[in-house]
Amino acid sequence: MTGTLAAAPTHDRNPLVAARSQLADAIAALDYGPGMLDMLATPRREVTVSVPLRRDDGSVEVLVGHRVQHNLSRGPAKGGVRFSPDVTLDEVRALAMWMTWKCALVNIPYGGAKGGVAFDPRGYSRGEIQRVTRRYTSEIMPILGPTTDIPAPDIGTDEQVMSWMMDTYSVNRGHTVLGVVTGKPVALGGSLGRASATSRGVVHVALAALAHRGIVAAGATAAVQGFGKVGRDAARLLAEAGVRVVAVSDQYGAVHDPAGLGVPALMRHVDETGSVVGFAASEPLDDGEELLHLDVDLLVPAAVEAVLNADNAHRVRASVITEGANGPTTPAADAVLEAAGVLVVPDILANAGGVIVSYFEWVQANQAYWWSEDDVNARLAERMQAAWEGVVGYAARRDISLRRAATTLAVETVANAHLARGLYP
Ligand SMILES: NC(=O)C1=CN([C@@H]2O[C@H](COP(=O)(O)OP(=O)(O)OC[C@H]3O[C@@H](n4cnc5c(N)ncnc54)[C@H](OP(=O)(O)O)[C@@H]3O)[C@@H](O)[C@H]2O)C=CC1
Ligand SMILES: O=C(O)CCC(=O)C(=O)O
């Protein structure tokens, strides 16, 4: 390994350490010439920008934003934009690398990217968030475009933020460019089914994983960490499938009902109060951490990275973990969970439904022809099922974990694209 990798951080909870360790595992199982590991570990392009913001009170704050394009060998870079105080360049690099593997694994013609601005949108007005979005978009505009890099929503962003990004890009280009971002509102060239696509994909593979373990979904128990764009619809769809969702959490706390939470009523409570905390038909858990250790059939981490780590993995009692979030399990935790026989459905497979329907949205926008929601959902289910079967089959043939199988399959696809393009002449 050369300079870039030698300088890498080493902490178990650093997402870049996790992403690079997963890549190194995959490369070790494959047969490529020297340089492939370094090349795939290194982002193709990184932009760090200042985002000056005039606050509503007249003061000026200078925020920091990033956009990292990890790989472009199979098509334009694709991946979400995150507004969160925890955004760092290392985090964005890791998330961009995971996007590359995700797009390759589910065979959509993209490389991986990710972006973010380090601030907590909960402390800012709608007007301030719009100004941050527009300035960030302008600053990274040289590397954006419908054939180069196509953002989408992630933590702290939504379809309104995507509309502002599309508008800023389009105004600068002089015409409307629908294909420059996905996750837009349906009224503005978005796709039916995109808003719930990540959750729908998570639930598709969660149900497949329960069946794989011989657990009947009807009456099985689940805990969901995070009640945002991914966790909320995952809880709803699990409940609709007959799974008893016994606990959910957000940043403010966690609620629990061993008999099963009434998810529609909980959703109404969150709409009214902004948090799951205080939901009448439930008991509070001491802290969000407790949710991760409940004795449930299924655990769905759908919030942030590294929540399952060296310190707590041994306390997990779930049979199946389906990763709605990116990078919720550190490599040290993975080893503990694998030894304990927990089936972990990895992020790049489990949460790929979002980018799959983003791809459908981009295809529809480029064709200016929109599909029905049933059509979108059927195509999504078909791709999730194919990816699930591919990963499970590969893992079984080699007697390896689903994470190792998924990463190896994806890395091989990307490495072969580099070879086909003439990496080793
Ligand atoms: N949106 C998408 O299409 C996709 C998202 N993902 C991944 O899914 C994860 C969630 O993203 P998304 O739902 O879009 O983001 P949101 O911002 O919509 O929701 C994040 C949720 O996580 C909660 N949260 C944050 N920190 C914690 C914590 N420490 N403990 C418990 N809950 C916490 C938030 O709480 P609160 O509500 O209180 O703020 C919120 O409910 C991320 O890892 C993202 O990268 C992956 C694929 C696609
Ligand atoms: O929909 C997309 O393009 C990307 C979604 C995303 O950021 C992710 O899958 O982590």
Digit-coded pLDDT (tens) for 318-332: 999 999 999 999 999
Question: Residue 9 pLDDT > 60, yes or no?
Answer: no
DSSP type of residue 424: -
Q: What is the pLDDT of residue 11?
A: 77
pLDDT band at 281 (very low <50, low <70, confident <90, very high): confident
Beta strand ranges found along 86-136 (DSSP E): 111-117
Q: Quick check: 74 and 323 in contact, CB under 8 A?
A: no
Alpha carbons 131 and 128: distance in angstroms, whole number: 5
SS3 52: strand
Ligand 1 center to residue 35 CA distance, Å? 35
Contacts of 131 (CB under 8 A, 6+ apart): 53, 54
- Closest ligand relative to 197 C-alpha: 1
Kindly list the distances between the CA atom of residue 308 and the CA atoms of 15, 71, 276, 322, in Å, as whole numbers in the listed order: 12, 27, 21, 12
For residue 402, is pLDDT > 60? yes
b/e code 405-422 from CB counts within 10 Å (16+ = b): bbbbbbbbbbbbbbeeee
The protein residue with its alpha carbon nearest to ligand 1, atom 9, reads 325
145 close to 125: Cβ distance less than 8 angstroms: no
Does residue 184 carry a catalytic annotation?
A: no
Which pLDDT belongs to residue 147? 97
Using 50, 70 and 90 to split pLDDT, how confident is the model at 423?
Answer: confident
Q: Of 160, 165, 245, 164, whose CA–CA distance to 206 is shortest? A: 245
Residue 188 and residue 158 in contact, taking contact as beta carbons nearer than 8 Å: no
7 pLDDT band (50/70/90 cuts)? Answer: very low
Q: Tell me how far apart the alpha carbons of residues 308 and 332 are, in angstroms, rounded to a whole number.
A: 9
Measure 302 CA to ligand 1 centroid, in angstroms.
6
Output the pTM of the full model: 0.97
Provide the pairing of β-strand 244-250 with 253-256.
antiparallel
| pLDDT given for residue 1 in this prediction | 34
CA angle at 234 for the pair 228 and 239, rounded to the nearest 5°: 130
Q: In 263-401, which ranges are continuous DSSP H helix?
A: 263-273, 288-292, 331-339, 347-350, 353-367, 373-398
Residues with CB under 6 A from ligand 1: 153-156, 198, 225-231, 249-252, 275, 288, 302-304, 324-326, 351, 354
Ordered strands of the 77-83 beta sheet: 45-54, 60-71, 111-117, 77-83, 149-153
Residue 52, pLDDT > 50, answer: yes
What is the rounded average pLDDT for all residues in the chain?
96
Q: Rounded to the nearest 5°, which phi and psi values hold at 111?
A: -95, -170
Q: In angstroms, what is the span from residue 154 Cα to ligand 2's centroid?
A: 7
Residue 331, helix vs strand vs coil: helix
Residue 38 backbone dihedrals phi, psi, to 5 degrees: -60, -40
Helix, strand, or coil (residue 110): coil
> Two tokens at 80?
């979400």
In this structure, the strands spanning 60-71 and 111-117 are antiparallel
Q: With left for phi above 0 and alpha for psi between -120 and 50, is residue 70 left, alpha or beta?
A: alpha
What's the pLDDT at 167? 98
In angstroms, the CA 367 to CA 178 distance is 10
pLDDT at residue 4 greater than cutoff 80: no
The mean per-residue pLDDT over the stretch 229-257 comes to: 98
Residue 199 near residue 352 (C-beta atoms within 8 A): no
**What is the band of 339 on the pLDDT scale with cuts at 50, 70, 90?**
very high
Q: How much of the chain is helix, strand and coil, in % rounded to 5?
A: 50, 15, 35
Nearest ligand 2 atom to alpha carbon 154: 7
Q: How far is the CA of 304 from the centre of ligand 1 (A)?
A: 6
Question: For residue 425, what pLDDT is reported?
Answer: 57
CA-proximal residue: ligand 1, atom 29 (nearest): 251
Query: Given its phi and psi angles, is residue 372 left (phi above 0), alpha (psi -120 to 50 degrees) or beta?
Result: beta
Assess whether the C-beta atom of 116 lies below 6 angstroms from ligand 2: no
Domains and CATH numbers, the chain: 44-176 (3.40.50.10860), 197-345 (3.40.50.720)
Annotated catalytic residue, options 102, 114, 184, 229? 114
Mean pLDDT lowest for which of 73-82, 103-112, 141-150, 416-425? 416-425
Taking only Cα atoms into account, the Rg of the chain, rounded to an integer number of angstroms, comes to: 21
